[in-house]
Amino acid sequence: MADDIKDKVKTDVPTVTFTMDGQEVTVAKGTTILEAARSIGIHIPTFCWHPKLKPVGSCRMCYVEIEKWPKLAVSCVTEATDGMIVHTESDKVKRGRRATLEFLLLNHPLDCPTCDQGGECELQNLTFEHGIDDSRFDFQKNRFTSDTDNTVFDDKRIGPEIILNRNRCILCYRCVRANKEAFGEYDLGVYERGNIAEINAAPGQQVNSPFSGNLPEICPVGALTSVDWRYKMRVWLAGKTPSICPYSSSGSNILIYTDDNKNLIRRVTSRCNDDIDDGWLSDITRYGYQIANSEERLQTPLIKKEGKQVEATWDEALEVICNRFKEITEKKGKVCIGGLISPSLDNASLYCSSKLFRTVFNNNNIDFRTDYRMLPNKPDSYFGMLCNRSFRITDIDDSDVIVVLGSDLIREHHNEYLRIRKAVNFNNARVFSLNPYSVKSADVAQAEIVYNIGTDEIILVAIGLAAIEMGLVEQGLAQGFKEKVKLGSLAEATEVCGVSSDDVKLVARALAGDGKVSVIVGELITRSHGREAVASALFNLSRLLGIDKKGQMAVLARYANSRGAEKLGLLPIPTGAQVEMLKAMWGKFPDAEPQTTDAMLALMHKEEISGGLVLGGNPIMLYPDRQFITEGLEKLDFLVACDLFESETTELADVVLPMSSWAEYEGSYVNLEGCNQVACQAIKHIGQSKPAFEIIRLIAEKIGTSLFESDEQMATEIEQLLSCEPDNATPDNFVDVLPLSEEVDPDFPIPLCICDDPHHTGALTQKAPSLTNFTGEAYIEMSPDLAARLEVSEGQPVRVESPVGKIVMPVKVSKHIDNDVVIIPRNFSQIRVTSLLMRKKRVDRVRITKVDE
Amino acid sequence: MKEVIKAVGHVFIKMPQGLLVTLKHLFKKPVTLDYPRKKKPMMPRYRGRHYLERYDDGSERCVCCGLCAAACPADAIYMEPEEGEHGERRAKVYEINLLRCIFCGFCEEACPEEAIFLGQEYEFAADKRNSFLWTKEDMLVPHPRKDNPFKKIIRRVRKVYGVTEQ
Amino acid sequence: MILTEESVRKIKEKLQQYPQPKSVILPALTVAYRQVGYVDADIYREISHIINIPTVEVAEAATFYTMFAKKPRGKYLIQVCHNISCALLGADSLIGYIEEKLGIKIGETTEDNLFTLVTVECLGSCATAPMMQINQDYYEKLTKEKVDQILEDLRSKA
């Protein structure tokens, strides 16, 4: 469907034909000369023009000569018209560009030796190219002086990770435009005018958005530089390795700069891929690499001896693992070993783990969803169907209607958030945000619907009912839809959700229209108990309004390789096709009862599973019931944990194996749209660490079975599994929506949401110093109204109690929240957030009291 | 017989002749130097050991820009930058491996801050390989060069930078 | 709150007159400037709250326009023309004289917060040069004596 629309658009667009440097060029009407030139490979120098931003024409560097025009034209804002004759390299053009450069250099300090941009500076390159070696300007240069010590050395921090030097600025406005246009942030501005115009942070604000790291990268000169890269090394000395972000599920393409002498990663920049990341990186992607350089990395295997973990060699550790696993299997059978695998690992590691458990241990006790609550043990649920639908990131760009359900995109899917902004800016898309609390990423939304927490499926039902009431759907379909829902009318549904019916009607009308639709379902749904109900409600809505036929709807994968894990069959219950394929490859498939994370933990409590393998990740910190998982893992006879760092989970382990970070070996990752991308090896292994897949293979070999005959065999098997396309199945008819409602305990009235901080993801990023500069410790985010009622102000500690736990943490007041939901980030291990949670609850509720100092 | 006369002639004529040459040189200025005690003055453009210069206020001139290392054909220079007290860039590590150095003087030419220059000294003999690795401390010593021929250029550079001289 | 209720009401009224809140920035700044006499970061923040746009947009607009003073000015703003007609008839020496008399330099305010001296471009009264404008009034065909008299009058009035 999507392709049909695109083709239609393409054939309808009128074109213009003109001559550029003697070449005949035909482009779509409305294309600028600069874009046309780039499309045929003619290079026109620019400063202010950026491929992802609207042109402004402020730097005048992109001069071209157009015949019969009295003056040189600024090509980035001049539309190509029929019959134009353009010269991009004539003497007149060169003189014009030279003059522009001379003007730009009037006030530019020639401090290239101390400037971090030196070596990758566009101004430096163009000055060199045009051979300007002297200035005719004989007067004192205009200088901004430092606020503190009245010197012209004007480097100042305008954000946790950004340094501004106003003297070097050439006022191309790229940063300010990107900040406002692409990221929707208003913390950077241009002040004053003329000679003394300056870029600076907004009064009293810090440039600390989750995208702030992009600003130094797009700065053509050294006016904005990154603290992370400050005075580290010269760019020409750095080794560059193409890689993939190990944190974002969209798999942003990155370039890793390494110091090969010291075996360190020095920085990460974007490797623009229009289909995936659009050239923008979130700060998590940009600064998250720092965990690989951390001093705290595990260097050697550890074996627990008399209650203490002591350093050991690999041989010893593998020996112990092999013996203990053999012991357990002899005593209790092979089903007694369970595996929790991190979905941030590469395909090879995930596949090896799956093969180890299914062929060597001969069981189905393996899961990668360690932070979901109450996973069902039965196959073919509607939620599974929803997960297995295809989704394309680029299709967001030309969607007319985008519905985001249960996700604060800025905390989960940074790239998709920017895509949605782009769709709004360039395609006038209408965005609807449906969330239990008001989110910051809803600033682009046409309507933001805040429903009562725990009524996710009812809001979808309400949209369907609204469409029926407005007469937007066929009678037959309406009848089928109504039969399956318990609620009779729209009014009833909106009352349960606590929303206005006008807003719901707005969404219903938009979804029922002809435009292309993207429905995105986020983590608030996936991690919750109600995911099955939401999935069935969404399928009903899709059948009712035909969403399926005019767009895409998907649950976005959360981690770097969640999608890969699903495709490789790492779930306890792989799809039928996967089982067939695996059977054909392995010659067997275990018929043991499949066990999800929850079931495995329950069996650990019953001491039916007594051996465990945790590969990456830190389930104790992320599983939504800390007591349950801690007790479960403690009851194990033998636990092996592989990780980069010592964590709550490795503390319990009998053997801890040091794992290599993603930059230390070549691995491939499948992003949320199913695209398989390769991350190359950037640095050598730190200490004695080994890649996860190698660890698994070593364990298997020690036990006595070789998983693969050769590396090629592994590669072909993975390739074969990944070639399986999503089946896009939908239920054949309307399905029952079974809403889950809960009694509210009056003692614990305030609903709690556990999210990622916008600058953190999962459990590892707290080891990255740059990211902790943005947010270093846990906080409880609440509305100004609730804070006023609790008589607390920003930064004051409060006691948060749930029926199972109690923690104290400082308050953060967020103006955009307007109901009583509180949010706690889960990324900081010093505060045990998950100890407040109960896995059986759909909505966690807490009591908050002020701490008297 | 003839040979005898010839031999006697050699003893009484040729030998004194030879000794006369020696005698003459006793009173001539010697062409060799009494090396460790006396040293030959070098040509003004001779390129010897490296010095790093300081500004008049004592701060280091070198900003660790890496251009000398980039220009070095022998790959003898290694440096690591760091951030100074006031946020300025300076060298944390600056090493020249004199065993690799070919004393071409490219570093001096490449230096935009006029921080490094080659002096006249040429005595680096040492008995350990490690002592040929010269660090910042070895090079940031007072140097005998009285007048800096680059001073004029430096002043111009400083003007371009916007630093007004008092 | 620096802005009075009256000013806030006026700004909210302006909000009704324009299709976009962004258009209200300049009128709102004018209202604030009339009331306070200068604009600064606190005022930008207040205005941005009232018309609900980011502070940085207000700050950008306010700093672009030089006629919004960014710091407190004296009660009387002395604007002396220094363009060609006035300059030919001795504006420069007049400015020097005022500077000396008030003990301040161009752009500064006297210690008693009474006078602020600035130079301006042509005020369109070339026929009566040299001239200056104090607050909303023109003072023309100036001489040193006349300036003495004017400043004395203002000082006694204050």
The 10s digit of each residue's pLDDT in A625-684 is 999 999 999 999 999 999 999 999 999 999 999 999 999 999 999 999 889 999 999 999
In a domain? residue C94: yes
In a domain? residue C127: yes
C22 touches chain A (CB under 8 A): no
Closest CA to A764 of A549, A632, A617: A617
Q: What does the alpha-carbon distance between residue C11 and residue A375 come to, in Å, rounded to a whole number?
A: 55
Using only C-alpha atoms, chain A has a radius of gyration, in whole angstroms, of 29
Among A678, A703, A722, give the residue marking a domain's end: A722
More confident residue, A265 or C135: A265
Residues A646 and A652: beta-carbon distance below 8 Å: no
Closest CA to A34 of A69, A64, A59, A1: A64
Helical spans, DSSP H, in chain B: 2-9, 15-27, 67-71, 106-110, 136-139, 151-161
| Every domain of chain B and the residues it spans | 1-31, 50-145
Query: Per-residue pLDDT averaged across A493-519, rounded?
Result: 92
Please answer yes or no on whether A143 and B162 come within 8 Å at the CB atom.
yes
In DSSP notation, A84-99 reads: -EEESSSHHHHHHHHH
Tell me how close the Cα of A203 comes to any Cα of chain B, in angstroms.
23
Q: Which two tokens stand for residue A414?
A: 């940074």
Please answer yes or no on whether A153 and B87 come within 8 Å at the CB atom.
yes
In a domain? residue A134: no
Residue A402 reports pLDDT greater than 90: yes
Which tens digits make up the pLDDT trace of A683-708?
999 999 999 999 999 999 999 888 99
Grade residue B20 by pLDDT with cuts at 50, 70 and 90: very high
Q: What does the alpha-carbon distance between residue C77 and residue C123 come to, in Å, rounded to a whole number?
A: 15
At residue C86, the 3 state secondary structure works out as helix
The vertex-B57 CA angle with B53 and B58, nearest 5°, equals 45
For chain A, positions 110-149, list CB contacts with chain B under 8 A: 110-114, 118, 135, 140-141, 143, 149
C86: Cβ–Cβ under 8 A, 6 or more apart, which residues? Answer: C80, C122, C126, C129, C130, C131
| C92 and C28 assigned to the same domain | no
More confident residue, A74 or A745: A74
Residue A213 reports pLDDT greater than 50: yes
Which tens digits make up the pLDDT trace of B78-88?
999 999 888 88
| C85 and C149 assigned to the same domain | yes
A230: chain B residues, CB-CB within 8 Å: 83
Characterize the bridge pairing of strands B89-97 and B133-134. antiparallel
The residue in chain A having the minimum alpha-carbon distance to the alpha carbon of residue B69 is A237
CATH code where residue A804 lies: 2.40.40.20
| C53 and C104 assigned to the same domain | no
pLDDT at residue C12 in the model: 94
Task: List the subunits that have 3+ CB pairs under 8 angstroms with C.
Answer: A
A636: Cβ–Cβ under 8 A, 6 or more apart, which residues? Answer: A604, A609, A610, A611, A612
Residue A668: phi and psi, rounded to 5, are -115, 150
Closest CA to A402 of A427, A415, A383, A420: A420
At residue A149, the 3 state secondary structure works out as coil
Please answer yes or no on whether A203 and C59 come within 8 Å at the CB atom.
yes
Mutate to test the interface with A, among B86, B114, B156, B164 (most CBs of A within 10 A): B86
pTM metric for this prediction:
0.90
Residues C5 and C34: beta-carbon distance below 8 Å: no
Residue A20 reports pLDDT greater than 90: yes
Using only C-alpha atoms, chain C has a radius of gyration, in whole angstroms, of 18
Angle between helices C55-64 and C25-36 (to 10 degrees): 70
Domains: count for chain C: 2
pLDDT at residue A733 in the model: 86
Grade residue A623 by pLDDT with cuts at 50, 70 and 90: very high
B75: chain A residues, CB-CB within 8 Å: none
Please answer yes or no on whether A114 and B67 come within 8 Å at the CB atom.
no
What is the interface pTM, i.e. ipTM, of the complex?
0.87
A696: Cβ–Cβ under 8 A, 6 or more apart, which residues? Answer: A349, A352, A353, A356, A615, A707
Query: Per-residue pLDDT averaged across A729-755, rounded?
Result: 86
Tell me how close the Cα of A820 comes to any Cα of chain B, in angstroms.
45
Please answer yes or no on whether C60 and A187 come within 8 Å at the CB atom.
no
CA distances from A419 to A275, A403, A652 (A): 10, 13, 42
Residues B104 and B146: beta-carbon distance below 8 Å: no
CA distances from B21 to B14, B16, B24, B26, B34 (A): 11, 9, 5, 9, 21
Which tens digits make up the pLDDT trace of A541-574?
999 998 888 889 989 999 999 999 999 989 888 8
pLDDT at residue B145 in the model: 63
Query: Per-residue pLDDT averaged across A185-192, rounded?
Result: 93
The residue in chain A having the minimum alpha-carbon distance to the alpha carbon of residue C70 is A192
User: pLDDT tens string for chain C (158 positions)?
Assistant: 889 999 999 999 999 999 988 999 999 999 999 999 899 999 999 999 999 999 999 999 999 998 898 888 888 999 999 999 999 999 999 999 999 999 999 888 998 889 999 999 999 999 998 999 998 899 999 999 999 999 999 999 87
Nearest by CB to A204, from C41, C54, C57: name it: C41
| A213 and A80 assigned to the same domain | no
Q: What range defines the domain where residue A43 resides?
A: 2-104
Looking at chain B, how many residues does it have?
A: 166
Q: What does the alpha-carbon distance between residue A405 and residue A547 come to, in Å, rounded to a whole number?
A: 15
Q: What does the alpha-carbon distance between residue A835 and residue C149 come to, in Å, rounded to a whole number?
A: 80
DSSP-derived letter for residue A356 is: I
Grade residue A8 by pLDDT with cuts at 50, 70 and 90: very low
pLDDT at residue A152 in the model: 66
A757: Cβ–Cβ under 8 A, 6 or more apart, which residues? Answer: A411, A775, A825, A827
Query: Per-residue pLDDT averaged across A241-269, rounded?
Result: 94
Residue B23 reports pLDDT greater than 50: yes
CATH code where residue C36 lies: 1.10.10
pLDDT at residue A841 in the model: 87
Which tens digits make up the pLDDT trace of A472-498?
888 888 888 888 887 778 898 999 899
Residue keyed to tokens 């004592």: B58
The residue in chain A having the minimum alpha-carbon distance to the alpha carbon of residue C60 is A191
Please answer yes or no on whether A234 and B164 come within 8 Å at the CB atom.
no
Positive or negative, the CA dihedral A766, A771, A773, A774 is negative
Domains: count for chain A: 5
Characterize the bridge pairing of strands A188-191 and A162-165. unpaired
Dihedral angle computed from the Cα positions of residues A677, A681, A682 and A687, in that order, rounded to the nearest 10 degrees: 140
DSSP-derived letter for residue C66 is: T
Closest CA to A340 of A580, A603, A556, A45: A603
Positive or negative, the CA dihedral C43, C44, C49, C52 is positive
Please answer yes or no on whether C55 and A205 come within 8 Å at the CB atom.
yes
Residues A798 and A851: beta-carbon distance below 8 Å: yes
Residue A241: phi and psi, rounded to 5, are -125, 125
In a domain? residue C81: yes
Nearest by CB to A203, from C44, C64, C66: name it: C44
Residue A110 reports pLDDT greater than 90: no
| A217 and A323 assigned to the same domain | no
Residue A754 reports pLDDT greater than 80: yes
At residue A633, the 3 state secondary structure works out as helix
Please answer yes or no on whether C64 and A192 come within 8 Å at the CB atom.
yes
**B50-145: which CATH topology?**
Alpha-Beta Plaits (3.30.70)
pLDDT at residue A133 in the model: 75
Grade residue B161 by pLDDT with cuts at 50, 70 and 90: very low
Residues A850 and A787: beta-carbon distance below 8 Å: no
The vertex-A667 CA angle with A666 and A669, nearest 5°, equals 150
pLDDT at residue A10 in the model: 52
Strands (E), B11-166: 50-52, 77-83, 89-97, 116-118, 133-134
In a domain? residue A131: no
Q: How far is CA A106 from the centre of its chain?
A: 42
Query: Per-residue pLDDT averaged across A10-29, rounded?
Result: 87
Please answer yes or no on whether C60 and A191 come within 8 Å at the CB atom.
yes
Stretch (H or E) spanning C141:
none
Question: What b/e string do you get for C84-114 counting C-beta neighbours within 10 Å, with b at 16 or more?
Answer: ebbeebbbeebbebbeeebebeeeebbeeee
Residues A800 and A824: beta-carbon distance below 8 Å: yes
The DSSP bridge partners found for residue A26 are A17
pLDDT at residue A15 in the model: 92
Under 8 Å CB pairs connecting chains A and B tally to 53
pLDDT at residue B149 in the model: 58
Among C15, C39, C64, give the residue marking a domain's end: C64
The residue in chain C having the minimum alpha-carbon distance to the alpha carbon of residue A189 is C56
| C98 and C49 assigned to the same domain | no
Q: Which two tokens stand for residue A595?
A: 């066990």
CATH code where residue A349 lies: 3.40.50.740
Query: Per-residue pLDDT averaged across A602-606, rounded?
Result: 93
In a domain? residue A113: no
Nearest by CB to A189, from C45, C60, C66: name it: C60
Query: Per-residue pLDDT averaged across A701-719, rounded?
Result: 91
pLDDT at residue A387 in the model: 86
| C29 and C88 assigned to the same domain | no
Q: What does the alpha-carbon distance between residue A740 and residue A558 come to, in Å, rounded to a whole number?
A: 24
Tell me how close the Cα of A234 comes to any Cα of chain B, in angstroms.
7
Mutate to test the interface with B, among A153, A231, A266 (most CBs of B within 10 A): A231
Residues A136 and A106: beta-carbon distance below 8 Å: no
C34: Cβ–Cβ under 8 A, 6 or more apart, which residues? Answer: none
Positive or negative, the CA dihedral A355, A356, A358, A359 is positive
Which tens digits make up the pLDDT trace of A776-834?
999 999 999 999 999 999 999 999 999 999 999 999 999 889 899 999 999 999 889 99
pLDDT at residue B163 in the model: 44
The vertex-C80 CA angle with C74 and C81, nearest 5°, equals 150
Lowest average pLDDT, out of A518-522, A533-537, B97-101, B148-152, goes to B148-152
Looking at chain C, how many residues does it have?
A: 158
Characterize the bridge pairing of strands B77-83 and B89-97. antiparallel
| A701 and A829 assigned to the same domain | no
Positive or negative, the CA dihedral A394, A400, A406, A410 is positive
Mutate to test the interface with B, among A114, A134, A140 (most CBs of B within 10 A): A114
Q: What does the alpha-carbon distance between residue A760 and residue A768 come to, in Å, rounded to a whole number?
A: 9
Stretch (H or E) spanning A848:
strand A844-850
Tell me how close the Cα of C119 comes to any Cα of chain A, in angstroms.
19
| A268 and A417 assigned to the same domain | no
CA distances from A520 to A211, A456, A537, A753, B155 (A): 21, 13, 14, 19, 62
Q: What does the alpha-carbon distance between residue A455 and residue A445 come to, in Å, rounded to a whole number?
A: 21
Q: Do chains A and C touch (3 or more CB pairs under 8 A)?
A: yes
A151: chain B residues, CB-CB within 8 Å: 86
Q: What does the alpha-carbon distance between residue A748 and residue A848 come to, in Å, rounded to a whole number?
A: 8
Residue A12 reports pLDDT greater than 80: no
Grade residue A73 by pLDDT with cuts at 50, 70 and 90: very high
Q: What range defines the domain where residue C42 resides?
A: 5-64
The residue in chain A having the minimum alpha-carbon distance to the alpha carbon of residue B65 is A113
Q: Which two tokens stand for residue A149?
A: 């010590």
In a domain? residue C16: yes
Q: Do chains A and B touch (3 or more CB pairs under 8 A)?
A: yes
| C92 and C151 assigned to the same domain | yes
CATH code where residue C84 lies: 3.40.30.10
